[in-house]
Amino acid sequence: QVQLVESGGGLVQAGGSLRLSCAASGRTFGSYTVGWFRQAPGKEREFVAGISWYGATTYYADSVKGRFSISRDNAKNTWYLQMNSLKPEDTAVYYCAAPGSSYTSIQAMGPSNMAYWGQGTQVTVSS
């Protein structure tokens, strides 16, 4: 059984930083594009960042470019989201996710294409 477990969320002041982790088990995701999504209250779940299978390519939503950084450690079957210069509008539940097939195009990393989801971790940014 595949499990994705996020950690690292919390409450931070505007301008602060957090680092989220997603530890996967039940399947090796080394050959998968993986990513992060978020959902704010009353809004749809949205793509935040994605990283290709060997980490050669990353892709970000315009709203987080230059502030967030995605990385992965295939030896640990884990990926990360470093969030800097956080803003109140970044407040949301953050989810890690992976598609059902390996070698998925990073441009295809929409919520409807994800097969595996973590339980979510709350990130709250106070002003």
pLDDT of residue 47: 97
Low-confidence ranges of the chain (pLDDT < 50): none
pLDDT of residue 56: 84
pLDDT of residue 115: 95
pLDDT of residue 112: 92
Q: Cβ(31)–Cβ(103) under 8 Å?
A: yes
pLDDT of residue 73: 96
Angle at 56 between CA 95 and CA 38, to 5 degrees: 15
Quick one: which of 51, 57, 60 has its CA closest to 29? Answer: 51
Q: Cβ(36)–Cβ(18) under 8 Å?
A: no
